Amino acid sequence: MELRDGLLVFGGGALGAMARFWVAHSLSRWSARFPWGTLAINLSGSFLMGIWTGLAMSHTGLLLWAVGFTGAYTTFSTFTYDTVTLWSRGQVLAAWTNIAVSLLGGVALVATGIRLGEVWR
């Protein structure tokens, strides 16, 4: 890996972390009973990764930046923590909904984003 590649991942990661903080903070008032912030972050991050992947098929720099951004922006650990928290509160349906929407929605949004990125490219 070249220094330039590492800097692209680093820069994307810094911006992704800041974006995650801003989105999570903005949605925190609606997250008392369901982790809307985490869900919005992971679904939008999946969509962005798909778009950037579709756009970057022949542009390694954009792909490295996208990996850094979405890696810092999205969060599997918070998703799993939120799901376990819902489950432990007895909100079993909400926990399963979080799992289904996060996983199925994420896959669908990556696929949709890739297709859009390819069209725009």
Q: What is the distance between the alpha carbons of residues 48 and 18, in angstroms, rounded to a whole number?
A: 16
Non-local CB neighbours of 106 within 8 Å, separated by 6+ positions: 42, 43, 46
Place of tokens 């918070």: 78
Q: Is 71 annotated as a binding residue?
A: yes
> What residues form the annotated binding site?
71, 74
> What residues form the annotated binding site for Na(+)?
71, 74
